[in-house]
Amino acid sequence: MDRIAKILSFLESSPNDNFLQHALALEYIKIGEDTRARNIFEEILQVSPDYIGSYYHLSKLLERMEEVDLAVQWYKKGMDAAKAAGDNHAYNELQAAYEDLVY
């Protein structure tokens, strides 16, 4: 069974598991299913804005999709969420990626 099928089977019993949703989105990116991945990341962050890791991956994906303005917005939201959570490591990663994009 491939990774996507495994994750989908796990999601049947835990459909709201952010870790599994995030992992599924990353697998979709690997196979070039960027729109599917984007939708999953956006759903995660709509329901759980404190799921910090998804901000980085969504923003990077939006960069690749040439939606720079939207990527910038998500980086900023992610930095705000990381700061609120006291997650300095995530904040620094998001800030570095943001600055690479903007400057």
The CATH number of the domain holding residue 39 is: 1.25.40.10
Is 25 a residue whose pLDDT tops 80?
yes
- For residues 7 and 58, give the distance between their C-alpha atoms in angstroms, rounded to a whole number: 19
Count CB-CB contacts under 10 A for residue 32: 9
Residue 76 pLDDT class (50, 70, 90 cuts): very high
Could you tell me the residue range of the domain that residue 12 belongs to? 3-102
The answer to whether residue 100 scores a pLDDT higher than 70 is yes
CA 76/CA 73 separation, integer angstroms: 5
Read off the pLDDT of each residue in 6-17 and give the average, rounded to a whole number.
96
Q: What is the pTM of this model?
A: 0.94
When divided into structural domains, the chain yields a total of: 1
Q: Is the pLDDT of residue 1 over 80?
A: no
